[in-house]
């Protein structure tokens, strides 16, 4: 076994591939915050509004954590990628999947499925970082990852997916059955 697979201290992170990966996830998180805000608006005045408000807050906090992690690794997020993320998030604010914010439409179903996809991607990010060896660092004097924080973020992403999945199944009949 090499030090890259067994977690021997001194293992170095490949920042050349890791940082662009993290930048892309940060761009996705930027879009996710707006998409969850759009969902909150779509589900206003329903029992699910509070859940989407909570999810938007959690996604926003996780985005801030990811941004801090990227900076801890000695990197500044790509301005170009963040510019594209901002443009995409503005488009998301208009909610192209459910522009009229109706809950009983195919657009509402697609909106919920898109949220599930975002959460699944975020889950994959945390799982991927946890798959890297404990003790791996960004270089001398530069820390690696807080594994306990990553484990909490992974568990949170799974709970968030469960919430969206529950809303999707609880509201499916209103969308797809005639009354």
> What's 160-174 look like in SS3?
HHHHHHHHHHHHHHH
Contacts of 176 (CB under 8 A, 6+ apart): 109
- pLDDT at res. 138: 83
Asked which of 22-36, 102-116, 135-149 is least confident by mean pLDDT, the reply is 102-116
Q: Token digits for 56? A: 């938007």
Strands (E), 3-112: none
Asked which of 86-95, 109-118, 157-166 is least confident by mean pLDDT, the reply is 86-95
How far apart, in Å, are the Cα atoms of 104 and each of 91, 98, 138, 167, 176?
Answer: 22, 10, 48, 13, 8
Asked which of 6-15, 20-29, 135-144, 150-159 is least confident by mean pLDDT, the reply is 6-15
Q: Taking the domains of the chain in order of start, what are their residue ranges? A: 14-176
Radius of gyration of the chain (CA): 18
């Amino acid at each position: 076994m090499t030090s890259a697979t067994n977690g021997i201290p001194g293992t170095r992170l490949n920042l050349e591939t890791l940082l662009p990966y993290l930048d892309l996830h940060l761009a996705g998180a930027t879009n996710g915050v707006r998409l969850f805000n759009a969902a909150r608006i779509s589900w206003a005045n329903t029992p699910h509004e509070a859940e989407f408000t909570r999810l938007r807050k959690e996604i926003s906090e996780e985005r801030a954590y990811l941004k801090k992690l990227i900076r801890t690794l000695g990197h500044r997020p790509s301005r170009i990628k963040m510019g594209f993320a901002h443009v995409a998030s503005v488009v998301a604010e208009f909610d192209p999947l459910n522009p009229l914010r109706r809950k009983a439409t195919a657009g509402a179903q697609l909106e919920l499925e898109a949220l599930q996809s975002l959460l699944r991607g975020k889950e994959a990010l945390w799982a991927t970082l946890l798959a890297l060896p404990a003790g791996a660092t960004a270089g001398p004097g530069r820390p690696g990852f807080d594994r306990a924080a990553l484990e909490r973020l992974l568990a949170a992403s799974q709970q968030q997916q469960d919430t969206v999945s529950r809303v999707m199944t609880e509201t499916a009949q209103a969308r797809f059955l005639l009354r």
